[in-house]
Amino acid sequence: MKKLLIIKDLEQLKSISDPFRMKLLGMLAKEAKTGQMLADELDIPRAKVHYHINQLVKNNIITVSHTLEKKSILQKFYQPVAEFIVPDLSILNYRNEEDDFAPHVFKIKTSPYQINALLKDIETLSAEKPLVSNDEHSEFLINVIELNNKMNEEGD
């Protein structure tokens, strides 16, 4: 399972914006389950669960983690493709070619613990497969720390 899935497609975003699918995703995040297991837990028809599972699979939000043959029936166990699923902010900022305005700015409140966890994840990911130079990476980390400090000062 990947650590992070960034949704860059509106169809993917639509597929997880359904409250029932979010509930299924939350249940699958705890442990891989079959459609029948989910239907039994929710006490609803299996067909309804399978419809929503198929939509999530089609949009690469969940995947088959493993299969198990039981009484000549192949059971598929599903799990999310990533631990964290977040939308890319660019898909939330629709901009017409004629429009002459700056994209929206989002302010995200974080705790020192969250920013430290983010920095640790960034360092881990960049150590695995560097996408930028060391200087660019250091500059980015400094900017994140400064931004976090500024936001914490404004919050006080």
Q: 52-108: per-residue pLDDT in tens?
A: 999 999 999 999 999 999 889 899 999 999 888 888 777 766 555 555 444 444 555
Distance (Å, whole) CA 103 – CA 86: 19
Mean pLDDT of the chain: 81
131 — pLDDT class (breaks 50, 70, 90): low
End-to-end CA distance of the chain: 38
Q: DSSP code of 81? A: S
| 49-67 CB burial, b ≥16 within 10 A, e <16 | bbebbebbbebebbbebee
The answer to whether 116 and 149 have CB atoms below 8 angstroms apart is: no
Q: How far is CA 63 from CA 20, 74, 99, 123, in A?
A: 17, 15, 39, 27
Closest CA to 23 of 60, 58, 48: 48
The model carries a pTM of: 0.59
CATH hierarchy code of domain 2-86? 1.10.10.10
Where in the chain are the domains?
2-86, 103-155
